[in-house]
């Protein structure tokens, strides 16, 4: 295995160091057992000399330090017991300072100092002050850091805090704070200096090593936060300003980022709220490379949670103008850090927005303000390219939607569309989808025409082709999904008031009409259906509306619809247009508007004649026409005749014989409406059925000729069923004899040699016969009617 | 036979003792042969009182030309007129309020000793001589003026410091308090030490001999400071064997003390600045 020399050597040096400590510790233990102070001091100093090494990385040095640390605990026990060494603590404090090497000297001094404070022969504050000053002698970053770490360790439980037994008579909390602050400042300075340590080491490795040591520095802030006597006032006046001063002055990005985060994490939220100005004031002064957005996000996160913790604290947020302060701080940071990529700025705004949404949900103006600031930052710049930045903008715009679950709110934000303007087409569409999803998810209604206008402005990326969009690159699937969403959205445009609803429809129509041939088939149908819904509502309230001048009459709306559908025909999408014409015709029928209904039918027939050329589509279309026409009751005889004539005519002209046959027998229903006052023209029904039979025959023959065998009898069975239907409905022209003849015809056909058994028609025929059998046997009038039919 | 015995063995034992041996403080004194013996300690203007005991060996009488005791180089007292000594005889002596302005000193090229010397004069043959060392230490009151030592020094574009020692005069158990302030650091300092150096000069003119010893090496700083750092100095003098500063003692020698501030850079080059301090002996209360 290959191990780089450096690492191998380091292991060796560490082992040597540990061996040195163990060796000297052995003699120190012997001296401790013998209560021989002189020897104890000698060997402990030698032991501590192992910590003078410069060869170890922080990680390995820490291992060494921990070994020494354990031994120092034993030493402290010895120092504590004067009866064992016979020297007063004051003299001991001097005695250890005779050591010639500074590092062992200071470790010993700290150890004795700890005992000195405990003895209470001198005020804790004096001893601590002396120790923290003397430690200045170690300027080597790693050695200094660990020495001060030791000092922090031994002093933690001895700070002259309120309620501490080491508190002197006067106001010594200040001393406790001073001590910790000073140690913190010195440690940070050493930590920063580590950056310039040791040539030949890669910067990356140094950063990593430094990172490993950061908690040694941060621990001091934690200690400060634990000091009972640090109340808000002291925090505000002393602690925070001094920490910040050090952070700013050290000019090191790693340290600044870490310590800012530390402050935010270790001190109470209440303090942050009351010192926002100071804390935020430091932000623009940090190095440009500091990830300030994360820092501020953390802060705002904490504050948001704090605000959520209790309603009692909310007034404080207002009183200190938290939002304004955060907002202006962010502005200043962005201004100060010219190099900050746009994504950073937007991320900051996202955080601020999240904050205000959580803390001041009632302040829409704040939301708009944040968006406005973002617009300002984006303005004058080319549209965003950076995908991360785009994502952040989407997050920014999505946040209010998620919070309020109400698009209407977003529509009132003047800066909302202005932010969207800075998105490229693709992202604009993504955002439009987010908006639509939000509306659909929350089933929010867009209830005014103005809102509809704003909304369509927001989602314009979906509604029409934007400049510069490469149509070729559109993914078909995505496009469909988008347009389906828009279609669903149209259904969310709703107002109970017909006047407003009409305006909404007009607004929507105006916008979607620009959608182009690819979009219209998706967007026109929901618009039509929505309008038809309105028409039905008006129809229900017809009585109330009579005599008043109402623009929202079905007639007017039908005109609008006509235009809309016409647009579809040019797309062209004739099948769809035809369906919609028929829908409208039916609605007009229900409104008792014969001319309108006739007009729609006319349009439908024209389309059928001119645009629908595919035979399959024709079949579908003709059945739709027949079905709709059958339900129409508004027409007078003349109109109806014209239309039914047309329908039957088209039916007989379909290309395939079976299609013809089916269409023709379907037409029979046009002459027999099973309503109370519906048409009941038995003659023409029979004509249709007979014609259908003829066509079926012809079809059978054609098959015989072309294939040499009879086709299935399905068509005959179908016609038989029609016969049975009209027979039962009491059409006098449909007789049992005719039925009997038809049954026999089918039976003969199926039994003929040339006919192969068929999996569809045979069971169909059998069950039809079973049905007749059933009707014959069930008794009553119907049975009598069937009686003459023999099966 | 008597004659022969007398030629090889002293005819008598001589011893010198002080009246207050039991109460007087004894201090160690290093002899020429390297042995350390304990000797009584005096200071200037004390009375030196004691007795000399002369005991003829084997009870034989012997003649002498007179007995005298002298505090070497200073005072002579006749203890006996010429005559014969038959038996053991004690002579009282007293030197009152002796002026001993110079302290005993045991240096490299120079020693300052105080000796009581008893001489029994004899005819034709060598005198009988017995010596007793004692040590003199004189105390000084705290100086009325004791300025701090403060100075800005530097190597151009390399290192500029300002150092300050709280006092210029220190007693033997004193502690040096001060600080080193770094104004400019362009060299990679490995550490900083404070040395106490003793400079002993003997002779005068062209025959001056100077010896310098480093008595203390005390590490003040580990690692390289940056501009603006202020490093504390606290050096206890008690662990070191210092003497007071002696200036031109009898035109023979001087002993001076210096604080030497040393910087060692990473290439082990040394930069230093030396400052004289005055050491004095403060009366221990």
Residue-level pLDDT at A522: 87
What pLDDT sits at residue A546? 47
Inter-chain contact A137–B231, Cβ cutoff 8 Å?
Answer: yes
Q: Are strands B159-165 and B111-112 parallel, antiparallel or unpaired?
A: unpaired
pLDDT value at residue A2: 43
What does the pLDDT average to over A424-434?
A: 84
Taking the CA of residue A102 and the nearest CA in chain B, the distance in Å comes to 5
From chain A, the residues in CB contact with B234 under 8 A are: 97, 134
Q: Rounded CA gap, A475 and A469, in Å?
A: 12
Per-residue pLDDT of A40-92, as tens digits, reads 999 999 999 999 999 998 999 999 999 999 999 999 999 999 999 999 999 99
Query: What DSSP line would sit under A613-679, residue for residue?
Result: --HHHHHHHHHHHHHHHHH-----HHHHHHHHHHHHHHHHT-SSHHHHHHHHHHHGGGGB--SSSS-
pLDDT above 70 as % of chain A: 94
pLDDT of residue A259: 96
Confidence bin at A467 (pLDDT 50/70/90) = low
Whether A551 has a pLDDT exceeding 70, the answer reads: no
User: Residue A194: what pLDDT?
Assistant: 87
What pLDDT is stored for residue A222 in this prediction?
Answer: 94
According to the model, what pLDDT value does residue A414 have? Answer: 87
- pLDDT exceeds cutoff 50 at A381: yes
What is the rounded CA–CA span in Å between residue A754 and residue A776? 32
Highest mean pLDDT among A176-180, A336-340, A347-351, A480-484: A176-180
**A638-658 as b/e, with b when 16 or more CB fall inside 10 Å?**
ebbeebbebbbebbbebeebb
Per-residue pLDDT of chain B (285 residues; tens, 9 = 90+): 445 544 567 778 899 999 998 899 999 988 878 889 999 999 999 999 999 998 887 767 788 888 889 888 666 777 888 888 888 889 999 988 888 889 999 988 888 999 999 998 887 788 889 999 999 999 999 999 999 999 999 988 889 999 999 999 999 999 999 999 999 999 999 999 999 999 999 988 888 999 999 999 999 999 999 999 999 999 999 999 999 999 999 888 999 999 999 999 999 999 999 999 999 999 876
- Residue A53: what pLDDT? 93
Q: Which residue has the higher pLDDT, A464 or A2?
A: A464
- Asked whether residue A766 carries a pLDDT value surpassing 80, the answer given is yes
Give the single-character DSSP code of B207: G
Collect all residues of chain B within an 8 Å Cβ-Cβ radius of residue A189: 226
Distance CA A112, CA A89 (A): 8
For B166-203, the pLDDT digits (tens) are 999 999 999 999 999 999 999 999 999 999 999 999 98
* Range from A554-558, A675-679, B3-7 carrying the lowest mean pLDDT: B3-7
Distances (CA, A) of B83 to A664, B8, B62, B67, B123: 182, 22, 9, 9, 11
Across the interface, whether the CB atoms of A136 and B222 are under 8 A apart is answered no
Residue contact A98–B232, C-beta within 8 A: no
Instruction: Choose the closest CB to B220 out of A133, A137, A144.
Output: A137
Task: Using an 8 Å CB-CB cutoff, list chain B residues near A143.
Answer: 222-223
- For residues B199 and B255, what is the distance between their CA atoms, to the nearest angstrom? 6
Task: Identify which has the larger pLDDT, A10 or B192.
Answer: B192
- Answer yes or no: do B222 and A143 touch at CB < 8 A: yes
Structure confidence by residue, pLDDT tens digits, A28-44 = 999 999 999 999 999 99
Q: Which residues of A touch B229 (CB under 8 A)?
A: 136, 139
Chain B residue with CA closest to A100: the answer is: B218
Token pair 């106490």: residue: B196
For the segment A1-16, the average pLDDT, to the nearest whole number, is: 73
Mean pLDDT across chain A, nearest whole number? 87
CA distance A141 to chain B (A): 8
Give me the residue from B219, B229, B230 closest to A100, CB to CB: B219
| pLDDT at residue number B72 | 83
Q: What is the pLDDT of residue A498?
A: 82
Report d(CA A285, CA A612) in Å as an integer. Answer: 73
Contact A627, A618 (CB under 8 A): no
Q: What is the pLDDT of residue B78?
A: 79
**What does the block give as tokens for A33?**
């057992």
Residue A572, preceding peptide bond in cis (omega within 30° of 0): yes
- Of the candidates B217, B221, B234, which has its C-beta nearest A139's C-beta? B221
Query: Does A543 score more than 90 pLDDT?
Result: no
Burial class (CB in 10 A: 0-12, 13-18, 19+), A725: middle
Q: Which residues contact A768 (CB under 8 A, 6 or more apart)?
A: A717, A720, A721, A724
Say how far apart CA A126 and CA A133 lie, in whole Å. Answer: 11
Q: Is the pLDDT of residue A545 over 50?
A: no
Q: Does pLDDT of A471 surpass 80?
A: no
In this predicted structure, the answer to whether residue A583 has a pLDDT above a threshold of 50 is yes
b/e per residue, B147-167, with b = 16+ CB within 10 A? eebeeeeeeeeebbbebbbbb
d(CA B36, CA B30): 4
- Tell me how far apart the alpha carbons of residues A654 and A614 are, in angstroms, rounded to a whole number: 10
More confident residue, A474 or A365: A365
**ipTM confidence score:** 0.88
Contact B231 A98 (CB under 8 A): no
Q: Per-residue confidence at A3, pLDDT binned at 50, 70, 90?
A: very low
The first and second tokens of residue B54, run together, are 């002369």
pLDDT at position A780: 83
pLDDT of residue A75: 96
Quick one: pLDDT at residue B285?
62
Mean pLDDT computed over A374-396: 84
Span A124-158, pLDDT tens digits: 999 999 999 999 999 999 999 999 999 999 999 88
- Looking at per-residue pLDDT, the higher value among A564 and A669 belongs to A669
Relative to beta strand B149-155, strand B246-249 is unpaired
SS (H, E, C) A733-763: CCCHHHHHHHHHHHHHHHHCCCECCCCCHHH
Tens digit of each residue's pLDDT (9 = 90 or more) over A585-621: 888 888 888 888 999 989 999 989 888 888 889 999 9
Which residues 6+ apart lie within 8 Å of A761 measured at CB? Answer: A712, A713, A714, A717, A750
CA distance B198 to chain A (A): 18
Mean pLDDT on A112-117: 96
Q: Are A166 and A117 in contact (CB under 8 A)?
A: yes
Copy the structure tokens of residue A82. 């004067």
For the segment A680-713, what is each residue's pLDDT rounded down to a tens digit? 888 889 999 999 999 998 888 888 888 766 667 8
State residue A472's pLDDT score. Answer: 56
Contacts of B148 (CB under 8 A, 6+ apart): B164, B165, B166, B167, B168, B178
Maximum Cα–Cα distance across chain A: 138
Give the per-residue pLDDT at A470: 57
How far is residue A570's CA from residue A385's CA, in Å, rounded to a whole number? 38
Closest Cβ opposite residue A100 in set B217, B223, B226: B217
Q: What does the DSSP 8-state code read for residue A688?
A: H
Please report the pLDDT score of residue A144 as a whole number.
96
Farthest CA pair distance, chain B? 87
Asked if A273 and A285 touch (Cβ cutoff 8 Å), the reply is no
Nearest CA in chain A to B195: A100
Tokens of A288: 């440009």
């Amino acid at each position: 295995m290959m191990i780089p020399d450096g690492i191998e050597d380091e292991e060796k040096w560490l082992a040597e160091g540990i061996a040195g400590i163990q060796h000297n510790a052995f003699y120190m233990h012997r001296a401790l057992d013998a209560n021989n102070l002189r020897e104890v001091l000698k060997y402990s100093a030698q032991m501590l000399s192992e910590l003078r090494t410069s060869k170890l990385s922080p990680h390995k040095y820490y291992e060494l330090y921990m070994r020494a640390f354990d031994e120092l605990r034993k030493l402290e026990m010895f120092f504590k017991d004067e009866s064992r060494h016979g020297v007063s603590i004051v003299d001991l404090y001097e005695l250890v300072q005779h050591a010639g090497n500074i590092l062992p000297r200071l470790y010993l001094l700290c150890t004795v100092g700890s005992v000195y404070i405990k003895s209470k022969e001198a005020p804790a504050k004096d001893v601590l002050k002396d120790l923290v000053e003397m430690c200045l002698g170690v300027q080597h970053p790693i050695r200094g850091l660990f020495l001060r770490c030791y000092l922090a360790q031994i002093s933690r439980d001895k700070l002259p805090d309120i309620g501490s037994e080491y508190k002197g008579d006067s106001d010594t909390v200040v001393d406790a704070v001073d001590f910790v602050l000073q140690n913190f400042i010195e440690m940070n300075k050493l930590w920063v200096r580590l950056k310039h340590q040791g040539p030949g080491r890669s910067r990356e490795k140094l950063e990593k090593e430094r990172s490993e040591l950061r908690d040694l520095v941060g621990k001091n802030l934690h200690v400060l936060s634990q000091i009972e006597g640090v109340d808000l006032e002291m925090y505000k006046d002393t602690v925070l300003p001094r920490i910040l001063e050090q952070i700013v002055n050290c000019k090191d990005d790693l340290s600044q980022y870490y310590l800012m985060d530390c402050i935010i994490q270790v001190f109470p939220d209440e303090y942050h709220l009351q010192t926002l100005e100071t804390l935020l004031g430091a932000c623009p002064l940090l190095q440009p490379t500091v990830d300030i957005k994360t820092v501020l996000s953390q802060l705002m996160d904490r504050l948001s949670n704090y605000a959520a913790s209790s309603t009692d604290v909310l007034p404080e947020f207002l009183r200190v103008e938290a939002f304004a302060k955060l907002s202006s701080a962010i502005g200043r940071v962005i201004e100060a850090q010219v190099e900050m990529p746009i994504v950073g700025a937007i991320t900051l705004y996202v955080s601020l927005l999240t904050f205000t949404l959580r803390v001041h949900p009632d302040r829409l103006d704040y939301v708009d303000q944040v968006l406005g600031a973002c617009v300002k930052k984006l303005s004058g710049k080319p549209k965003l390219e950076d995908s991360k930045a785009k994502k952040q903008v989407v997050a920014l715009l999505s946040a209010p939607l998620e919070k309020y679950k109400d698009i209407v709110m977003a529509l009132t934000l003047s800066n909302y569309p202005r932010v969207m303007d800075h998105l490229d087409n693709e992202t604009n569409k993504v955002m439009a989808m987010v908006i639509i999803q939000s509306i659909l998810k929350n089933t929010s209604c867009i209830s005014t025409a103005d809102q509809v206008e704003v909304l369509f402005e927001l989602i314009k990326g979906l509604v029409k082709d934007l400049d510069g969009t490469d149509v070729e690159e559109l993914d078909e699937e995505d496009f469909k999904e988008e347009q389906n969403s828009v279609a669903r959205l149209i259904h969310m445009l709703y107002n109970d008031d017909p006047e407003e609803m009409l305006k909404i429809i007009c607004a929507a129509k105006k916008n979607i009409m620009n959608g182009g041939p690819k979009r219209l088939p998706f967007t026109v149908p929901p618009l039509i259906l929505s309008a038809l819904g309105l028409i039905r509502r008006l129809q229900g309230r017809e009585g109330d509306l009579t005599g008043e001048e109402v623009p929202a009459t079905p007639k007017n709306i039908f005109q609008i619809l006509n235009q809309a559908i016409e647009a579809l025909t040019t797309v062209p999408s004739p099948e769809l247009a035809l369906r919609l014409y028929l829908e409208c015709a039916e609605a007009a029928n229900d409104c008792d508007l014969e001319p309108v209904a006739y007009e729609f039918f006319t349009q439908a027939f024209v389309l059928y004649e001119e645009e629908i050329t595919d035979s399959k589509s024709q079949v579908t279309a003709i059945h739709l026409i027949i079905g709709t026409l059958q339900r129409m009751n508004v027409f007078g005889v003349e109109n109806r005749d014209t239309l039914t004539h047309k329908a039957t005519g088209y039916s007989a002209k379909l290309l395939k014989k079976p299609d013809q046959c089916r269409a023709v027998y379907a037409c029979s229903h046009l002459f027999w409406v099973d309503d109370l006052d519906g048409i009941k023209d038995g003659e023409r029904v029979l004509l249709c059925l007979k014609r259908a039979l003829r066509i079926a025959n012809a079809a059978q023959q054609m098959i015989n000729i072309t294939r040499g065998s009879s086709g299935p009898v399905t068509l005959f069975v179908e016609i038989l069923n029609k016969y049975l239907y009209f027979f039962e409905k009491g059409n006098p022209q449909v007789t049992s004899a005719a039925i009997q003849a038809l049954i026999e015809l089918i039976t003969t056909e199926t039994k003929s040699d040339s006919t192969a058994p068929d999996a569809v028609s045979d069971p169909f025929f059998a069950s039809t016969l079973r049905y007749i059998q059933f009707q014959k046997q069930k008794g009553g009038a119907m049975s009598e009617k069937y009686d003459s039919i023999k099966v | 036979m008597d004659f022969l015995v007398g030629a090889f063995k002293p005819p008598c034992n001589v011893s010198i003792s002080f009246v207050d041996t039991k109460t007087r403080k004894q201090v160690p004194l290093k002899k020429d042969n390297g042995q350390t013996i304990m000797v009584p300690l005096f200071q200037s203007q004390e009375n030196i009182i004691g007795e000399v005991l002369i005991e003829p060996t084997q009870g034989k009488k012997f003649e002498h030309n007179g007995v005298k005791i002298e505090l070497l180089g200073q005072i002579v007292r006749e203890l006996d007129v010429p005559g014969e000594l038959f038996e053991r005889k004690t002579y009282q002596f007293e030197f009152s309020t002796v002026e001993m302005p110079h302290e005993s000193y045991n240096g490299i090229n120079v020693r300052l000793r105080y000796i009581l010397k008893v001489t029994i004069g004899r005819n034709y043959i060598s005198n009988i001589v017995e010596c007793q060392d004692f040590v003199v230490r004189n105390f000084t009151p705290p100086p009325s003026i004791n300025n701090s030592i403060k100075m800005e020094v530097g190597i151009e574009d390399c290192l500029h410091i300002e150092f300050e020692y709280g006092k210029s005069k220190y007693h033997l158990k004193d502690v040096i308090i001060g600080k080193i302030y770094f104004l400019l650091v362009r060299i990679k300092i490995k550490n900083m030490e404070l040395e106490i150096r003793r400079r002993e000069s003997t002779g005068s003119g062209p025959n001056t001999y100077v010896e310098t010893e480093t008595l203390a090496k005390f590490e003040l700083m580990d690692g390289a400071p940056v501009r603006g750092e202020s490093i504390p100095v606290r050096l206890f003098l008690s662990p070191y064997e210092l003497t007071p500063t002696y200036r031109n003692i009898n035109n023979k020698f001087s002993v001076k003390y210096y604080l030497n501030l040393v910087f060692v850079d990473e290439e082990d080059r040394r930069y230093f600045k030396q400052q004289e301090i005055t050491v004095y002996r403060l009366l221990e209360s």
